[in-house]
Chains A and B, each alone.
Chain A
Amino acid sequence: MFPLSRPRRELDYRLEMIDGELLLFHPGKTKIMYCNQSASLIWRLCDGQHTVEEITSLLGQAFPEAADTIPAEVEATLQQFHEHGAIEYIGEGDQTDSSIFRTPAG
């Protein structure tokens, strides 16, 4: 996953709430994925317009107290979405390269 690649939701995947929990599912598939609040925000930003870098930045603005952990959380969440088949990457590269993504130490 390159910072400038743009994740885009795959067709027919839906994020819905049931009993206070958010679930990501596809109507024709059995696997489901539970999402917390930040994951649901990331999902909504996977519109094919926002880059990974932009998504990270936006979440950082929304949750300034968690600025240190957000990059890793965005990476992990996008990876889960991708493994689930719920997103595809368009734009620059489609390989996961976590070393590009980690915040520098210090």
Chain B
Amino acid sequence: MNDTVYRLLALCARAQCDVAFYQHLAQEADRLREWEEVPAQAEAQGMAPLFYAHCKTAGIVLPLAVKRELQGLILRHRHANQVRTRALHDILSAFEAAGIPALVLKGAALCHLVYPQPGLRPMSDLDILVPESEARRAQRLLAELGFNAPLSAGPGFPHRHLTGATLQAEGIVVTAEIHIKLFGGDLDSVLLAHLQPLVSPISRPIVRVRAPMQGHMVPGRITGQGESWMALAGLTVPPLPFLSGEMKAYTLGYEDMLGHLCLHLTSHVNMVDFARLIWVADIVSFAERFVSAIDWERVQRQSPFVLDTLSLLHCTTPLSDELLSLAPIKMGPAPGGIGVEYQGWPQTWGKGWRSKGYCRVLRDTLFPSEWWLRMRYQLGSTRPLFWYRWLHHPFYILGLMLRELVKGLVNSFSMQEVLCSH
């Protein structure tokens, strides 16, 4: 993506702005000469409605073709959000009638909590957290509501959410995912278990194990609300009520929400995916909107990676003075390559190697941008980069390559056995 386009979109990655921000945005927009790729990039980043709204407030005159393309995107997202919200209300009503406690996660909650209009926050699906013991019943209820809701036969669930249930409604496909925990184990923790003996210990662990948050029983009733909640995996504070249209719903409490959003963002900073700016907007907007209500000491104690993430996001879209004064965010110098995503192996593979050049791909694989490394390994803008740059990341890549090699060898042996048996 064009650097100027990224900077422009990144600046807009927030729900609320002040006059100084709009002046800054207008100045950045003045620098942009080629606007053609803006709608497509804004859409890829989930930013089309927010970008358009901020440009309009800033008085930026968009080229007509760009304006019209963005308007089309906005109307589609607005409609899709309305359809998804109606589906969400049906789901929550059904769950309530069946006595299944449910928390609404991510976009479906945030669009009402932090954005001036829900349509500013595009959604791709509905994420709903339920107790693991109720997951099958929840999935069956979705089927009764008309969703195509697959249910695996075996006991237990291999992932943190069930297979998405889908419903065709008013021209779009509504997907609802039943989550049983906020985060599952990921490759990092598996690989680390193998790599740990190879890495010499230092006073501070070289590798940061991203363990799921420890859940515990959320006791009794939400104060004044009259509901009781069973154990929901990953919660450390009581849920937060909010209004989805006219309907009362619940989502993660302040500190859990911040932790969840930050982990979600950084989990997408990997070799095959990228962190969308709309997720940056979620985090920044939530932190700024509820800055006085958030227990920042708890955040620092329980999920320090939130503060590290915020310190990096400040380089993308400047955090408010209030947030900087209340949250113990340590600021370091802006890292190099802000917004530059990973471009090495395995994202570049096969023909890409040849067209890009092997040396270039090798460099991109072993030495990605500083910004990417800091986001990926939750280093914030102040933690030392050395061990991750020169040891952790190269070993991680080596581990992945070995894994792929072993997988390839096992597959080819299996194929040979099959051929020989015939």
Residues of A within 8 A of B (CB): 11-12, 14, 16, 18-19, 21, 23, 25-28, 30, 32, 34
Q: Report if B306 contacts A (CB, 8 A).
A: no
Which of B67-75, B323-331, B363-371 lines the interface with chain A? B67-75
Closest A residue to B170 using CB positions = A12
A27 touches B171 (CB 8 A): yes
4 nearest A-B residue pairs (beta carbon): A12-B171, A27-B171, A32-B72, A27-B172
Closest B residue to A31 using CB positions = B72
A27 touches B72 (CB 8 A): no
Chain B positions within 8 Å of A18 at CB level: 71, 74-75
Bound-complex Cα distance A12 to B80 (A) = 12
Decide: A27 near B170, CB < 8 A? Known: A14-B79, A19-B56. Answer: yes
Decide: A27 near B74, CB < 8 A? Known: A12-B170, A32-B68. Answer: no
A-contact 0/1 string along B69-103, CB 8 Å cutoff? 00110111011100100000000000000000000
Bound-complex Cα distance A30 to B234 (A) = 39
Bound-complex Cα distance A66 to B393 (A) = 71
Q: How large is the interface on B (under 10, 10 to 19, 20 to 34, 35 or more residues)?
A: 10 to 19
Bound-complex Cα distance A34 to B71 (A) = 10
Bound-complex Cα distance A93 to B172 (A) = 31
Chain B positions within 8 Å of A23 at CB level: 71-72, 75
B71 contact from A21, A26, A27, A30, Cβ within 8 A: A21
A27 touches B79 (CB 8 A): yes
A25 touches B68 (CB 8 A): no
Closest B residue to A34 using CB positions = B68
Bound-complex Cα distance A52 to B83 (A) = 33
B171 touches A28 (CB 8 A): yes
Known: A16-B78, A25-B75. 17 other contacts (CB 8 A): A11-B171, A12-B171, A14-B75, A14-B79, A16-B75, A18-B75, A19-B56, A23-B72, A25-B72, A26-B171, A27-B172, A28-B171, A30-B72, A32-B68, A32-B72, A32-B75, A34-B68
A-contact 0/1 string along B180-192, CB 8 Å cutoff? 0000000000000
| B229 → A minimal CB distance (Å) | 35
Bound-complex Cα distance A105 to B150 (A) = 65
A19 touches B76 (CB 8 A): no
| B116 → A minimal CB distance (Å) | 16
Which positions 42-59 of chain B face chain A at CB distance < 8 Å?
56
Bound-complex Cα distance A34 to B72 (A) = 10
Chain A positions within 8 Å of B71 at CB level: 18-19, 21, 23, 32
A27 touches B68 (CB 8 A): no
| A70 → B minimal CB distance (Å) | 26
Bound-complex Cα distance A11 to B172 (A) = 12
| B100 → A minimal CB distance (Å) | 30
| A82 → B minimal CB distance (Å) | 19
Closest A residue to B74 using CB positions = A18
Decide: A27 near B80, CB < 8 A? Known: A32-B71, A32-B72. Answer: yes
Bound-complex Cα distance A12 to B75 (A) = 13
B172 touches A28 (CB 8 A): yes
Decide: A27 near B76, CB < 8 A? Known: A12-B171, A18-B71, A32-B71. Answer: yes
Chain A positions within 8 Å of B172 at CB level: 27-28
| B322 → A minimal CB distance (Å) | 32
Chain A positions within 8 Å of B78 at CB level: 16
Bound-complex Cα distance A12 to B168 (A) = 11
Chain B positions within 8 Å of A19 at CB level: 56, 71
| B148 → A minimal CB distance (Å) | 17
Chain A positions within 8 Å of B171 at CB level: 11-12, 14, 26-28
| A73 → B minimal CB distance (Å) | 21
Bound-complex Cα distance A21 to B56 (A) = 15
Closest B residue to A16 using CB positions = B75
Closest B residue to A11 using CB positions = B171
Interface centre among B80, B83, B171, B172 (most CB of A within 10 A): B171
Bound-complex Cα distance A34 to B80 (A) = 20
Chain A positions within 8 Å of B56 at CB level: 19
Report 5 cross-chain contacts, Cβ distance below 8 Å, ordered by A residue: A12-B170, A19-B56, A23-B75, A27-B76, A27-B171
| B355 → A minimal CB distance (Å) | 29
| B124 → A minimal CB distance (Å) | 14
Bound-complex Cα distance A25 to B172 (A) = 13
Which positions 273-288 of chain B face chain A at CB distance < 8 Å?
none
Chain B positions within 8 Å of A30 at CB level: 72
Bound-complex Cα distance A19 to B170 (A) = 24
A-contact 0/1 string along B125-154, CB 8 Å cutoff? 000000000000000000000000000000
Closest A residue to B56 using CB positions = A19
| A14 → B minimal CB distance (Å) | 6
